Structure 1
Amino acid sequence: MKTLFARGVPHLAALVATAPVMASLPYAPAQAQATRITVPALPLAEALQRIETATGATVVYDGTAIGDSMSMPVIDATTALDAVRQATGRLAVSVRADETGRIIVTGAGDIVVTARRDEAETGLLVRATTTSSRTGQALRDQPRNTQVISSRLLEEQQAQTMTDALRNAGVTVNTATVQGGVGYSVRGFGAGGLVNGLPAAGSDGSGIAGTTQPIANIERIEVLKGPDALLAGIESLGGTINIVTKKPSAETRLAMAAETGSYGQGRLTIDANRAIDADGTVSARVIGAASTADRNYGGYRGNKDFLFAPGLRFKNATTDLIVSASVGEQKFGPTPFVPLNPRTNRPFDVTTTQPLFRRKDQGIEINTTQFAADMTQKVTDWLTVVARGQHQKTYVNVQQYSPFGVFPSGDGRMAISNSRSAQGLNSDAVDVYARFKVATGPLDHLLVAGYTYVDNDTTAFSSSTSTVLTYNFLTATQPPRDFAPINRTDSISSSTQNGYYAQYLMKAWKLSLLAGVRHNVVDTASQFLVWRETASNHSVATTPNFGLVFDVTDDIALFGSLAYGYAPTSSIGRDRRKLPDIKSRNAEAGVKITLFGDRMLINASYFRLRQSNLIITDPTDFLFPIAVPGLQSTGIDLNLSGEILRGWTMQGAYTRTDYKYLTPSDFGNVVVAQPKDNYSLYTSYRHSFDTALSGGVGAGLFGRSSASVDMTGSYYVPPARQIDLNVFLKSGAIDVNLGLRNLFDRRNYNVTYSSTYLPVAEPRNWRLTVGYRFR
């Protein structure tokens, strides 16, 4: 298996190794076109100073009018005046050049700042943070390795699911589930899920948070590597996936996109946005999407979804208030799979283009309603208050035969359950904090103090008449017995989380020091109605974190961090005692480099992540869980994102991780479903033929190394590699994107925890998207 994977890694390594060579490429055209000016989004005063330095022009501005407003990114401006006008954007300021050539920026009274489209919607490289940092630091200035997947990238790649999106970030995705969700792990440990910085339905471990967010409403996905109990509270042991939804802006925009492709799929998306008052301080946005398909690539029911997401925003110089809602419905078939033959220890030779159990209508239905509000209020120059609230209601209905085990004879007989199941989840979350900024001599201080409240309720339903059947998937021509109806409530559980936190950031010279602490109180209660039992748990934990950033130059920064994660458990062992809570610790050091005039960001780090213990099913009694020794992962994490040359963009990630258990185990010592290597590299180039016509091509390589199915290492899922290709054409308001996924039709399998459920990845298929912007 190492030899199979070895063919894939050198290609990625070779591409990454060319970065130093590529770094010299932009300077030749820069010398030929010395007036090209590019400046990232910065505090406006700093952006104007950079324009002065780059052009030699004199820029005079009214500091009172500008305040600490943020600039718009400046991209390939040809003159200093053009650069200043791009930087000021929709700020209510006057920009003019006087008779001596000086550029004058003035404003009258209070400055009115209108909402703009986020940079994640307009470009590949995202510099500014959103809800993943309460200090307000840019991503480059944070002492951790963070990768951002922008909506612009998702559009280019024609991503339709979170699984499609997270291929770009070195995240291991487990699709071998029959409970209606997808599991994610970062660096070998479970990843917590947030939506707009708040824990979502299922964030207490009762479900998968965020996986049902429709791609059409996602502005960006922030993958925070390493535990972050300070931000997420609980369940963030290896990392955090923060999904940021799209926001209204003052830009007038009406766009529509239609998509078709393999398996009879069709999708229509409409995005309407505009300011609704004269000065642009109030804006509204409505996103609607609907899709259907005849079937999925495994012959199961076709994926269908519906989304309606309105939002309203008020933004001026001191207040930014967003109120939004989304209503979504998703129906999708299960990932096709094959079992392992216990006699040959190889996958059964069965077709994967039709359901293994001869029934097409298996699948999952998810209905989600979400209401959210987010307010940032600048009270004074030294005090900002942020308040966020979110309500989510989710209902999951699963109609799918569940495999329990293959008979040792290897003749195709399998034990399966015909039970249907469902789950209702309700979540309410509130996060309020204050951010104070002061300066004492050469030191800048920032203090954050806040409180988080999360309430989750989960109700599980199943069938009292279900049974375990014996079914021969090699010889049967008819489906198994029909699904048993859902007719009983199995359990009702609830959890509340109260989190109190504080962060302190100090800046002096080129050094930034960060320290934080969170005190968490979690109460859970469960009623197991079938067994007429109850259980409750009260858990208290205090978790600190520390970090530093040192700016070696304007383009190179070193960082280090020590962060902790925490997950309370209410699992009861066979001796009727509660199993221990799970804790994790991550020590990390790395470097951040900006290249090509701040158009590309590279993060590289070395990490050591340790988890105190694991909860697994008792191999001697499947009815009970047990705690086994914890796990340690050590490795390197590299990611890059941005523009190499004008029109040529690149995004890549590579994570190499070595795993080991803290102490040897009697049940085996191989880490399950965790590949040593995860990698991705996507690049695209667009060329303008004239002012109305442009075209380009994009290509991506996504893969991982082998991963064990069990702790004994009896079978490894082979390495996976997939190459995708996209061709773009834009003519006026029409935008066309033709994509081929798994170009070479390679048979890939996804990671799994079960020898009876080896998920099959997508074969070669195509997608065609045609977009039209009305205004």
Structure 2
Amino acid sequence: MNRPRSTLLLSSLLCTALPLHAQQVDDTQTSADSTATELAAVRVQGQADDRPRAPDAQLGSFGPGRWKDTPASINVLDRTLLDKRQPRSLSEVAYSDASLGDSYAAVGYYQNVAIRGFPLDLATGYRFNDLTIAGEQRLALENIQQVEILKGEAGLTAGIMAPGGIINYVAKRPARVQELTVGTDSHGSRYTAVDLGRWITSTFGLRFNAAWEDTHSYIDHTDGRRNFYALAADWLIGDKGKLELDGNYQTSAQRSASGYQLLGGDTLPTHASATTLLGYQPWSQPVAIQSTNLTARYRYQFNDAWQGSVALGHSRSVIDDNVAFAYGCFYAAQCADGSVPGNYFAPNGDYDVYDYRSPDDTRVNDEVRAQLQGRFTTGALSHQLTVGVDGFRRTVDRRQDVYDYVGTANIHDATVPVFAPSPNAPGASARRLDDKQRAVFALDRINFGNGWQWLAGGRFVKLDEIANDSDGVRERRTQLSKFLPQTALMWQATDRLNTYVSYSKGLSLGQEAPYWTSNADSFLPPLLSRQVELGAKFSATSSLDLGAALFRISQPFQYAMPDDSDAGYTFIQRGNQVHTGLELSANGKLSEHVHVTASASVLRARAEDAGTPAYEGHQLINIPKARASVLVDYQLPFAPAWTVSGGWRYAASNVATPDGSTKVPSYNVFDAGLRVRSEVRGHALTWRLSVDNVFDKFYWRDTGSSGGDYYLFPGAPRLARLTVSYAL
């Protein structure tokens, strides 16, 4: 799509050992007024009936325990919240957490987000049932029970990853449910989904989810479609074993929307439109994505204290990438003499249009993990120990793409001239990346008594990664071994208040130098990051959780340094990129009729000792200093079946240039919703209406980068969605 086009956790890694003779969970019993935040639940089937069972917590890299007992900043977006918001994309999921922000999240394409200001690694930042999936896909939510967000370093959980965190999608488990949902929106989209589940026998259950959607996009000429299918199965094997199987498959097709760029490299576009497709060419095909995600997990309960598990995951995404891409102004008159940087739009609004085609772009992630966890004592100390091994492989196969200039247009023109497409065709496919990681990990949670606990552990990872050029010729091989420690000290001050301090290290791969630098296409060395976090978790009431976390993350600063080379820039690692922030959260009931989901983030992101004074002393690109997200539900006392909601999203001004000289304005966006529950012949009928951006405000939601180039994406205008769910 763009010229370079480069490229929890909370589930079973360290889950609580628990007996497998538990009652069956009925997801239809989930209350819209759920109380304190629960982490991912282990759901098992037994001989009992379908009465609800309080979920047990599963945890990520800090071991077993409830949300309040976890020394990390974690947010869980449960099914109830997802139904309220009705998100259809990753960018919309990010509305619900102030620590998340878009990071090159183009409409019609696979999207990415940043946590704590660091974009997630598409290779390792996204998980399904706690197993790595290819991030280059449009992630569906119909089969998802909850979305778990681990903020900050998770080297013990994931090994080599970006320091911002991880997003894990937890699948629905078999339950007694038969539900049909139909919907539309203010643009005329059509949506149908089914959710069917049953325990076939006392030991074997299934859950089937499917969705069919024809999207009428708010951006002209970018209507799309998708088909989604998912199947989950639980099988109790004997008295002590349980097998969980999950698979989903999705196809989608939609034209991708190019982002704006600064005019002349320093001026915001005037009269920009959130509904205009830049560079539109009628011959340009949509971006087609086919994705498959499979997981299998077998757990065995040796006794009341010890449990073992083996998990396998396979994820495959195939992208047929097609776009008439609006990029730069190399061929525009104002940029021809080199006085204006060619990798931005021209000062008068001219931009070049490229015919970009990259079919069969295939990303495959495979992972296998085995672990043992249990409890024991040594003298006066009690231990919760987890040990395991993990193997991960990722491959990327791509064909030689077409990226040819076809004409120049202007952002102020009502229509784009129709240009002739390039006559060239994509070349042969080649293995571009082969990444293998092997690891052993261990974590011990030691209870000293008097409310004190110490968690100590780490992950030893070995990396062997081979990168090739478009012809399949090796460009580099990276081999390294690294121990990534993780530790935390916790104090339960009262029954309601827990505090903690934690320290962890992480490792991420160096970025590829942009094509316009003197060392174009070179990969920089891996980066070691460090995080210190101080946090508190308080149960204000039995149904309201409050959280606060103060953190500092640092890693080497990667950037294009201005110099005297022929290209004018060289991509380097120098100095440090330091993110220091405060996060606050509130989740639960304020009163009998009022439920709140709220978060706020204050983040200072700076480059230090980078060697280029103009790039220091100010906020870094695409990292607002402050964000907030609030959603309040009010159940009408005089009409209990009716619930109204109001939401507020805020982001401070956002830097759009490396020297900090240009910013996009801050924004406040307000959302609203209405939910009505009723019955038809004894069957539940639920109406959900959500309105995002009620006042139709124009704002810039994203100033992120891709492949070293910077883009501006407008936020979505007012959008109303209506769904009706009928329990069959």
Q: Does 1:420 align with 2:357?
A: yes
Q: How does 1:717-756 map to 2 (within 5 A)?
A: 717-732=664-679, 733-753=684-704
**Deviation string for 1:391-429 (max 9, x for gaps)?**
111101221233332444633322332121242011111
Q: Is contact 2:108–2:255 with CA below 8 Å preserved after alignment? A: no
Q: Is contact 1:418–1:469 with CA below 8 Å preserved after alignment? A: no
Q: Does 1:627 align with 2:573?
A: yes
1:62 corresponds in structure 2 to none
What is the distance in 2 between the residues matched to 1:660 and 1:402?
Answer: 32
Q: How does 1:87-486 map to 2 (within 5 A)?
A: 128-130=56-58, 132-133=60-61, 135-170=63-98, 171-175=100-104, 180-192=109-121, 193-196=125-128, 198-202=130-134, 208=135, 212-249=138-175, 252-277=176-201, 280-293=202-215, 295-315=216-236, 318-335=240-257, 337-342=259-264, 345-359=267-281, 363-406=286-329, 407=335, 408=340, 410-422=347-359, 423-464=361-402, 466-467=404-405, 469-475=407-413, 477-482=416-421, 485-486=425-426
Range that drifts further, 312-321 or 723-732: 312-321
Which of 460, 480, 485 lines up with 1:519 in the alignment?
A: 460
What is the distance in 2 between the residues matched to 1:581 and 1:133?
Answer: 22
What is the distance in 1 between the residues matched to 2:24 and 2:178?
Answer: 26
Q: CA deviation at 1:526?
A: 2.0
SS in 2 for 1:338: coil
Q: Is contact 1:91–1:112 with CA below 8 Å preserved after alignment? A: no
What is the distance in 2 between the residues matched to 1:382 and 1:113?
Answer: 24
Over the aligned positions, Cα root-mean-square deviation in angstroms equals: 3.4
1:661 corresponds in structure 2 to 607
Partner amino acid, structure 1, of 2:94: L
Is the alpha carbon distance of 1:267 and 1:130 closer, same or farther for their aligned partners in structure 2, counting shifts above 3 Å? farther
Q: Is contact 2:648–2:669 with CA below 8 Å preserved after alignment? A: yes
Q: CA deviation at 1:128?
A: 4.7
What is the distance in 2 between the residues matched to 1:613 and 1:557?
Answer: 34
Question: TM-score under structure 2 normalisation?
Answer: 0.83
What is the distance in 2 between the residues matched to 1:588 and 1:91?
Answer: 35
What is the distance in 1 between the residues matched to 2:713 and 2:16?
Answer: 48
Q: Is contact 1:437–1:445 with CA below 8 Å preserved after alignment? A: yes
SS in 2 for 1:165: helix
Which of 560, 578, 586 lines up with 2:531 in the alignment?
A: 586
The alignment covers a number of residue pairs equal to 662
Is the alpha carbon distance of 1:179 and 1:725 closer, same or farther for their aligned partners in structure 2, counting shifts above 3 Å? closer
What is the distance in 2 between the residues matched to 1:178 and 1:699?
Answer: 25
Higher helix proportion, which one? Answer: 1
Q: Is contact 2:24–2:51 with CA below 8 Å preserved after alignment? A: no
Q: How does 1:507-546 map to 2 (within 5 A)?
A: 507-509=447-449, 510-530=451-471, 532-546=473-487
What is the distance in 2 between the residues matched to 1:118 and 1:330?
Answer: 36
Q: CA deviation at 1:683?
A: 1.1
Q: Is contact 1:543–1:564 with CA below 8 Å preserved after alignment? A: yes
SS in 1 for 2:715: coil
Q: Is contact 2:279–2:325 with CA below 8 Å preserved after alignment? A: no
Is the alpha carbon distance of 1:114 and 1:677 closer, same or farther for their aligned partners in structure 2, counting shifts above 3 Å? farther
Q: Is contact 2:62–2:455 with CA below 8 Å preserved after alignment? A: no
What is the distance in 2 between the residues matched to 1:562 and 1:286?
Answer: 41
What is the distance in 2 between the residues matched to 1:674 and 1:482?
Answer: 37
SS in 1 for 2:702: coil
What is the distance in 2 between the residues matched to 1:267 and 1:72?
Answer: 25
Q: CA deviation at 1:325?
A: 1.1
Which of 615, 620, 626 lines up with 1:677 in the alignment?
A: 626
Partner amino acid, structure 2, of 1:289: A
Is the alpha carbon distance of 1:457 and 1:356 closer, same or farther for their aligned partners in structure 2, counting shifts above 3 Å? same
What is the distance in 1 between the residues matched to 2:400 and 2:615?
Answer: 33
Q: Does 1:500 align with 2:440?
A: yes
Is the alpha carbon distance of 1:562 and 1:615 closer, same or farther for their aligned partners in structure 2, counting shifts above 3 Å? same
Q: CA deviation at 1:562?
A: 0.6
Is the alpha carbon distance of 1:355 and 1:72 closer, same or farther for their aligned partners in structure 2, counting shifts above 3 Å? closer
Q: Is contact 1:271–1:287 with CA below 8 Å preserved after alignment? A: yes
Q: CA deviation at 1:650?
A: 0.8
Is the alpha carbon distance of 1:377 and 1:659 closer, same or farther for their aligned partners in structure 2, counting shifts above 3 Å? same
Q: CA deviation at 1:332?
A: 3.0
Q: Does 1:566 align with 2:507?
A: yes
Instruction: Name stretches of at least 5 consecutive residues in structure 2 with no aligned partner.
Output: 1-14, 32-42, 330-334, 341-345
Q: Does 1:612 align with 2:556?
A: yes
Q: CA deviation at 1:568?
A: 2.9
SS in 2 for 1:346: coil
2:712 corresponds in structure 1 to 758
What is the distance in 1 between the residues matched to 2:416 and 2:663?
Answer: 31
**Deviation string for 1:608-665 (max 9, x for gaps)?**
1111332558786389742232211112111121122234211111110112212143
Is the alpha carbon distance of 1:148 and 1:384 closer, same or farther for their aligned partners in structure 2, counting shifts above 3 Å? same
What is the distance in 1 between the residues matched to 2:271 and 2:527?
Answer: 40
Query: Considering only CA atoms, is the larger Rg found in Structure 1 or Structure 2?
Result: 1
2:8 corresponds in structure 1 to none
Partner amino acid, structure 2, of 1:420: R
Q: CA deviation at 1:241?
A: 1.4
What is the distance in 1 between the residues matched to 2:107 and 2:182?
Answer: 31
Instruction: Name stretches of at least 5 consecutive residues in structure 1 with no aligned partner.
Output: 1-41, 46-64, 77-89, 93-110, 120-126, 203-207
Q: CA deviation at 1:226?
A: 1.2
